Structure 1
């Protein structure tokens, strides 16, 4: 993730070392029987802890700290093949493989950080934990830790696994399908969608009539839709299409599910069928117009970007109603970097390569920037990161809910997630106005864009990404022949970075860059001449004497022996752009243009027709596109 690495900050490095030591001490108790507090003692501790937690939650400046335990695999064995054990059978720091424990809660769950509650085996919800892991918690108490969502299951009271002494008789046990459907409707109206799904499923098992069956399936489909279980929602709808007497409702519901699944062409087909049978259905007509726009985006890349910026500014969180467009690119194997993205036809600079809606996107707004920010501490990898990673992990887990490996998801996010602003355009304008260094900016919002995650790194990029809400836009920044790998910088070297510092930043992705810029920096790493010349040029710019600036920049330029067509001279171009701005402020536009052309040349651009005085009938053309930087964009 191109986010904020906190592992070198003293406070957080200390935090990581403390947690590492706790894990080491915990392993010394491995296999031992824990000393368990009484039921009343635990309940009292829980009540006090929750009270203190509520007080802390009112403090806006507090950020949650999440400690990752040592990674372990999720359970992949079905309950039928596991052996039941009791709490007294559990031993510390052991994953009890081949077993399960049946528990019930004695207090309401505290969801301040994850979900925490007091449980006993054989008053409250009943759970099964597969292959339980008993460990020492952060507060020093012992607890059964569940990191994989699929390792724990909630059991309804009718489940035969629940002991007779725990079972609570209810009217649902004797209710018919219609009565259970009404109970499910009550849950649905209260926003308890999972409870509604459970009720509708019970009703389907109670020998319903054909009409009741269709109603239960339609209602359960909507509950699945609300919980983003779109495959299940579509399956329920398909099972009643052609059977349900509520044809209009069924077809409209199916179109809505297909829309959310981004199957816009199929969505249009369903809506056209609906309109043919119900010509006066205005909702269907509005939905068809919307779906046709999505098809134009998805198949032809036709977007109204100005409108998208407006939407992103008004919607919170900024989940935009737009389609993914995959342009003339495809994923293929590379020679040495796994898979990458390659062009499938000749591309011109500025052409649209892809516009992608995030698979999952966690937004942190400027109005309350620390509301969703967490510190993620991973002692195994010695990493401390700040951002909305915890929220993004939760989104990923819910979307991948089969057998979910939380630690694998954490690694996927580490290597593939992007941090981003709400709007790259607005962020760029703000940065140019306030003279903020791009490398000093960090964004807490983050997301996963599946196609974009295949784009490999190079400091000499040939594509540029931007963001509008949860949409990522990738354009070519150079002319690209068919079959060219699309590359973009994960982190561009800072002017003050030597080769070692830049390499260290890239190591979080597990590789060393071998581009020509990095090779050149490695070759000149031990020389202090270029750094001294750059510092002289910076000092001259700050002093503001044009003659001294020109002389310093000429000396700095001489220190670059590589062709700028092969190795862009980022530091030199930045200073030349700043000199151009100084010329403008002194009302010398001709000299400003001259400095801009030099700066563009330093980045590898070959520009014709820009000389001052301008020759008549000579068009301004870019014959070769160089490295695109913020200053290059700003000068346009």
Structure 2
């Protein structure tokens, strides 16, 4: 939704064709044993040169990297005890070697491109390229993949590489394990000299502490775990476990941290234990429980200033979670300061619930009646991949999915990795995530093997691609830029975005071109507000793609990616309208907008005639079916009259803007009857430029009907709240509006 889909863009088609050819060439070697492989020295030299060249890419270079999704394959779900050991000579190209595993040792430092790569050797001394996808960037520097690391790969997939060499690609996190040097699976020739039986629990703890202090938290966890299996005293065990809790917190393994913290009895709940337990609960978004633990901590250890500050933070999150008490103006300030704009705030679920729809699976429904502008949902992103246009050196990914024949430009590849990592670290969220719509993809039904979670990367990718949202850093920022920049430079409200994120609950909201709710963003917080008055037990809808997009004809939006057709009233009428009339309507609209852009603008009378001709292509009343092709012309005409200082005409055409979009307005006509109120009897289609429309009405009424000005300003503020997500910064916005 609003992501940069370039599947039909000729500029990028060559990448899809190139990959399809590479795939065909590779599959032609299926079943062959690797031959004519480079010597280990030659392969390592080539890789080292590649590392050196990659390091020399200018910091200010704007580039995108191309990532190809491989043919789909399932993660290994066979228990390790049932796998057989093999080496490279046993493998064949383009084959998933089910029932086998291989041990490899890294013989170079890693390189990060679209994957994390390293040259590795097997026990026979044969070398190949190992490509690891969806790994954390920290693996490059925290020692887990240092030269000499031993890696276990389950059911390896041997690829025929473009240069004729062989490589192993690993997409599923559970298919790989980094073995600590003391692991019994490490071959004798690759083991250190010190025998582990000579190491005490305290030795392991000290080693873990040293690694922790170096930022090697995963390796520290391995040492702490080994210490706990090395017969520590009771006091040693408590200290070791507390240290492991802290390491788990540093690696975002919050469920594991809480599990360790909860194994301590009440008498063992020290100051550190309580503090770390409360932190784990906080990061798991269990704010009420976190506050309860912090309350005990505050009572037992009142001098702990850090705990008091954390307690206050948890209280603020609880107020947001339970009552929707946000200080939105502060959120806007936080977004301006943060890169990426990840905000520490809670999810608020308003008067909504998930229910089955009649024909589109599950959806989000109101539990009570709501008014336009009411907050339905304010959700913290489950995962959020931000592209900062001010830092082009970070680059972008062109993700080519030959399975679906789609291409996207943006941060989707990063988003998949973030989702997979989060599920792997905190697997209790997997059931909710995996139940979301995934199209026709069928995943394995095993959630855990050998005590470790199984996260299907391709299921995550399918769910992500069908449910993610493209977004601006701030909807308010985007709106202000769109109204302040010159016409040809404006960001429009139907832009596709390079950043993308995933919001679990918002994923249940189904599409309608004529939606009754509107989404906006403040950093990684998605805000859903009602854009119309909604009755209880009514399904909430948003637009996956805006029907206002330049290249769309009314009701003719391509929704094939999601596998359905919209049946809203706009689409129903469009299907009954001849294509020639829709094309004629689009041409009229384009001609009108071009007339306003032209240096030699036609006269106002001629523009009015053009708009009237466009009006005549419609037959249904606008109050029933919004006239999406005409409102922009009216808005520009109102702006033209505002520039000429004709407030009565501004009011006339601003009201026509609203009426063309399905609004029913009472009491707004000029001349005005004193005592008559300005009321929106029915809300219509919502769009960002309507804020400007209401502000023009406010300016006009202030001159010709002052008793209506406050009502118009109130509706401008309400429209701002719906489109931007909040109205706390409206007064600042209003001061920049150029009225009469």
TM-score per shorter chain, which class? over 0.9
Aligned residue number for residue 455 of structure 1 = 509
Q: What's the TM-score, normalizing by structure 2?
A: 0.83
Q: For each residue in 1:225-251, what CA deviation from the matched residue of structure 2 results, as whole angstroms up to 9, or x when unmatched?
A: 11111100001111124243x711111
Aligned residue number for residue 418 of structure 2 = 395
On the 8 A contact 2:556/2:574 being kept in 1, the answer is: no
Measure the CA separation in 2 of the matches of 1:348 and 1:25. 59
Which of 603, 607, 610 is the matching residue for 1:549? Answer: 607
* Residues 10-21 of structure 1 mapped to structure 2, 5 A cutoff: 10-21=10-21
Give the CA deviation at 1:518. Answer: 2.0
Q: Unaligned 5+ residue runs, structure 2?
A: 124-146, 425-452, 695-740
Distance 1:609 1:173, change over 3 A: farther
On the 8 A contact 1:498/1:521 being kept in 2, the answer is: no
Distance 1:524 1:631, change over 3 A: farther
* Residues 81-480 of structure 1 mapped to structure 2, 5 A cutoff: 81-122=82-123, 124-170=148-194, 173-244=197-268, 247-369=270-392, 371-401=394-424, 402-434=453-485, 435=487, 436=490, 438=492, 441-480=495-534
- Give aligned pairs, total: 634
Distance 1:121 1:598, change over 3 A: same
Distance 1:495 1:9, change over 3 A: closer
On the 8 A contact 1:102/1:121 being kept in 2, the answer is: yes
Distance 1:74 1:585, change over 3 A: same
Measure the CA separation in 1 of the matches of 2:417 and 2:387. 15
Distance 1:555 1:226, change over 3 A: same
On the 8 A contact 2:472/2:499 being kept in 1, the answer is: yes
Measure the CA separation in 1 of the matches of 2:342 and 2:372. 29
Give the CA deviation at 1:44. Answer: 1.4
On the 8 A contact 2:62/2:395 being kept in 1, the answer is: no
Give SS of 2:112's match.
Answer: coil
On the 8 A contact 1:540/1:552 being kept in 2, the answer is: no
Q: What's the TM-score, normalizing by structure 1?
A: 0.96
Distance 1:341 1:297, change over 3 A: same
Measure the CA separation in 1 of the matches of 2:387 and 2:170. 27
Aligned residue number for residue 513 of structure 1 = 566
Which of 585, 609, 617 is the matching residue for 1:530? Answer: 585
Larger displacement relative to structure 2 (378-387 or 345-354): 378-387
Give SS of 2:371's match.
Answer: coil
On the 8 A contact 2:635/2:653 being kept in 1, the answer is: yes
Give SS of 2:101's match.
Answer: strand
Which of 464, 479, 485 is the matching residue for 2:539? Answer: 485
Measure the CA separation in 1 of the matches of 2:261 and 2:615. 68
Aligned residue number for residue 618 of structure 2 = 560
Larger displacement relative to structure 2 (287-296 or 308-317): 287-296
Measure the CA separation in 1 of the matches of 2:317 and 2:30. 56
On the 8 A contact 1:495/1:571 being kept in 2, the answer is: no
Distance 1:445 1:335, change over 3 A: same
Give the CA deviation at 1:201. Answer: 0.6
1:572 aligns with 2:630: yes
On the 8 A contact 2:6/2:408 being kept in 1, the answer is: yes
Measure the CA separation in 2 of the matches of 1:601 and 1:59. 49
Give SS of 2:642's match.
Answer: helix
Give SS of 1:302's match.
Answer: coil
Larger displacement relative to structure 2 (136-145 or 418-427): 136-145
Q: For each residue in 1:124-161, what CA deviation from the matched residue of structure 2 results, as whole angstroms up to 9, or x when unmatched?
A: 11111111111112444211111111111111122222
Measure the CA separation in 2 of the matches of 1:514 and 1:307. 40
